[in-house]
Structure 1
């Protein structure tokens, strides 16, 4: 499917939920974004939507404390709380972990999950745990390496190969992105179209524990 099959100009905020019990059941394809609190998740989503301020970008990592839903052209885009920000209280971090876990354990469409990892660093323990959770759960997922504009092209390729090996991913599961230059955004759009628009695209995306 071509990226133009989804009109991202229609993107708008839908709702924010602090508890999974508040979240309505899936009624349309869903794409979820998950990653560390300072990985640039909001910036990548804004670049995807072509809107600078739709997904709030905070100067304070760990600000996103709820599950936030956006919609574009009949597809829900789910912004999950960032994980692993040490300067938040343990009770807050525990709540966010429960919120993420309960959401991913719920019986939703989960057409695609985009796990974001900072290309400048080796994956953290939590990054490893997230990718393993998605793999073991049978989710349809990709890993998007963020902040590629901070590295030279040769450094990007070196880190891509290293992180792919560390996470044990095939080449089609991982790619480079930048919210500054737009690198990888077309690739992300193609992955989303394939997962959400192709016939029976979500057949295998519902996790085994749903």
Structure 2
């Protein structure tokens, strides 16, 4: 996309509480997803920066709201969800922090919801979709790790997921490994930052 703001993204800060979030009225896009679905890798690929967001082979590692600044807005990397070994206390804190952010953050213009194409629409994904819908948030689903499937099979899964999503969200295939779907995601999320409806 022309005038692409994403490669100019820079880490701003990590926030453990809502009051630590940026006070500017700039639009924000949140990246949400199940632990190990490829959320940080997707964010890095979209921003064309290999180590912008820290990736980990240990699910549940990110427990803070990580904020990245870029021209005209912010990206917010939310803690991953759905990891069974996370203690119940941390899980409750996650619900309060993330659920509260989605429900009340005025600057939030949309959610990039990351799902592993091999395991889409988990119960935790459905909970996130419910939160987003009840808060009037736009959602664009990235079906990551699409390189694990043939192009035809990936397209079929995307069609099935879009049918299940209905009007709740738009959906595309994506691969951080080979870059497929990256430009489409940049166009969609870039339109949100500009206040446009997107694709």
Q: Do both share a fold (TM > 0.5)?
A: yes
> For residue 8 of structure 1, what is the aligned residue in structure 2?
6
Partner Cα distance (2:12, 2:120) in 1 = 34
> 1:114 aligns to what?
112
Q: Structure 1 stretches of 5 or more lacking a match?
A: 203-210
Across the aligned residues of Structure 1 and Structure 2, the Cα RMSD in angstroms comes to 1.8
| Structure 1 position 77, deviation (Å) | 0.5
User: Which residue, 168, 174, 178 being the options, matches 2:175?
Assistant: 178
**What is the rounded CA distance, in whole Å, between the counterparts of 1:127 and 1:7 in structure 2?**
28
Residues 6, 73 of structure 1: 8 Å contact kept: no
| Whole-Å separation in 1 of the counterparts to 2:73 and 2:19 | 21
Distance (Å, rounded) in 1 between the aligned partners of 2:167 and 2:63: 29
Asked if 1 retains the 8 angstrom alpha-carbon contact of 2:30 and 2:75, the reply is yes
Q: Within 1, Cα distance between the matches of 2:155 and 2:36? A: 22
Q: Distance in 2 between matches of 1:191 and 1:173?
A: 10
TM-score, normalised to structure 1, is: 0.87
Q: SS of the residue aligned with 1:105?
A: helix
- Alpha-carbon separation, structure 1, partners of 2:20 and 2:70: 21
**Aligned-partner Cα distance in 2 for 1:19–1:169:** 32
CA distance in 2, matches of 1:33, 1:51: 16
In 2, Cα distance between the equivalents of 1:47 and 1:138?
27
Find the aligned partners of 2:94 and 2:82 in 1 and give their Cα distance. Answer: 9
1:128 is displaced (CA, Å) by 1.3
1:156-180 per-position Cα deviation (integer Å, ceiling 9, x unaligned) = 022112222223347x811111101
Q: Which residue of 2 aligns with 1:17?
A: 15
Structure 1 pair 140–89 and aligned structure 2 pair: CA distance change class (3 A): same
Deviates more, 1:126-135 or 1:177-186: 126-135
Counterpart pick for 1:158 among 145, 156, 163:
156
Aligned counterpart in structure 2 of residue 125 of structure 1, from 120, 123, 126: 123
For structure 2, the 5+ residue unaligned runs are: none
1:36 Cα offset (Å): 0.5
Q: In 2, Cα distance between the equivalents of 1:180 and 1:62?
A: 21
Q: Indicate which of 37, 40, 50 corresponds to 2:38.
A: 40
Q: Distance in 2 between matches of 1:7 and 1:129?
A: 30
2:188 corresponding residue in structure 1: 191
Alignment of 1:137 with 2:135, yes or no, is yes
Instruction: State the 1:26 CA deviation.
Output: 4.1
Match of 1:73 among 68, 71, 74: 71
Runs of 4+ residues over 3 Å off in structure 1: none
